[in-house]
Amino acid sequence: MHEPLKEFAVRPTPDDPALSQTVAGIDHEGREVETVVVTEKAITLFLNGREIVTMMTIGDHPFLLAVGFLLNQGMLRDDDEITGIDYDEDIATVVVRTARETDYEEKLKKKVQTSGCAQGTVFGDLLDELEGIELSKTARLKTSWLYGLTKKINTEPSLYLKAGAIHGCVLCQEDRPLVYMEDVGRHNAIDKIAGYMFLNNVAPDDKIFYTTGRLTSEMVIKCVKMRIPILVSRSGFTAWGVDLAREAGLTLIGRARGKRFVCLSGIERVEFDADADAFEEEDKKHARKGSQAGDD
């Protein structure tokens, strides 16, 4: 039996020198400036000796990224036993080994380029594994929790606020952010959380997933496959993302900033327990889009 996760059990490490660097340049007036930029590394993933994919990432949490990617691609099963994970930084490879013999030649033949901001790739049929997944019907999202979450997440020191050009995803419970991951592509941040949940046996049924990115079909599919019943974003929606959320019974909330939000699916899980007028609008200095980096 695992102890309940503490608030920000995993949080961003913006001061890690391996995740960003300072680059000299000039500004719009021709003045010399220095700006902080995020790192981007190529890490090649192997499963039981077979090369699967090369991932572009900031390079933190390679074990979690590898396991989460394999889970969300259907290459690892919930009941799989991982017998070893090895990361070699010098040759930028991570190898995952399982007790079960795996064989994904056919799955690797079919690739779908997703709408992920860093060009994510999905192997196989996007919708195959959504059939038969039932999300918790007892999960709830109180508006007081939502207001608390958005404030805590957007004021937490992060690589985004330091350098920009990055996305964040957060696993939450009630009004507590639990696991906060960042990466150049939101699909990587999602996979890191999936890997953490698998390796730490974290139950999904009472969790909330928060993302800074758009609510696309890819976001919805991954959240449903992770069996998390509530997905929240400070950004907007795509039509297919909404359609898939409704089909899957996923609560889908977008444009969540300050006391404002829009729910387009799974409205029955939302409990309006807070007076919105009692909450302030989001302070511009705390808005992710209002960071010193000045970009999305």
- Digit-coded pLDDT (tens) for 195-221: 999 999 999 999 999 999 999 998 999
What is the phi/psi pair of residue 65, to 5°?
A: -60, -45
What does the block give as tokens for 24? Answer: 């000299």
Contact assessment for residue 123 and residue 111, using Cβ atoms and an 8 Å cutoff? yes
Contact assessment for residue 51 and residue 79, using Cβ atoms and an 8 Å cutoff? no
Closest CA to 251 of 236, 240, 266: 266
What does the block give as tokens for 226? Answer: 């992770």
Please identify which residue in the block is written with the tokens 């009630």.
Answer: 174
Residues recorded for the chain: 296
Mean pLDDT, the chain, rounded, equals 88
pLDDT recorded at residue 164: 87
State how far the Cα of 197 lies from the Cα of 206, in Å rounded to an integer: 13
What does R_g of the chain's alpha carbons equal in angstroms? 19
Identity (one letter) of the amino acid at 176?
R
pLDDT band at 292 (very low <50, low <70, confident <90, very high): very low
DSSP code at position 71: H
Closest CA to 79 of 198, 206, 204: 198
Q: Which residues pair with 237 in a beta bridge?
A: 215
Strands 121-123 and 111-113: antiparallel
Where are the domains positioned within the chain? Answer: 141-290
pTM to 2 decimals?
Answer: 0.88
What does the block give as tokens for 171? Answer: 């696993």
State how far the Cα of 285 lies from the Cα of 268, in Å rounded to an integer: 33
pLDDT recorded at residue 259: 86
pLDDT digits (tens, 9 = 90+) for 3-23: 689 999 999 999 999 999 999
- Provide the CA 134 distance to its chain's centre, in angstroms: 21
pLDDT over threshold 90, residue 135: yes
Contacts of residue 33, Cβ cutoff 8 Å, sequence gap at least 6: 24, 25, 26, 27
pLDDT band at 118 (very low <50, low <70, confident <90, very high): very low
State how far the Cα of 217 lies from the Cα of 290, in Å rounded to an integer: 27
pLDDT digits (tens, 9 = 90+) for 75-95: 999 999 999 999 999 999 999
pLDDT digits (tens, 9 = 90+) for 264-285: 999 999 999 988 777 777 666 5
Percent helix / strand / coil, the chain, rounded to 5: 25, 30, 45
State how far the Cα of 45 lies from the Cα of 62, in Å rounded to an integer: 9
Share of the chain above pLDDT 70, in %: 85
pLDDT recorded at residue 2: 59
Largest CA distance in the chain: 60
Strands 176-183 and 230-233: unpaired
141-290 belongs to which CATH class?
alpha beta
Residue 199: how many other CB atoms lie within 10 Å? 14
pLDDT recorded at residue 178: 98
Closest CA to 150 of 221, 229, 208: 208
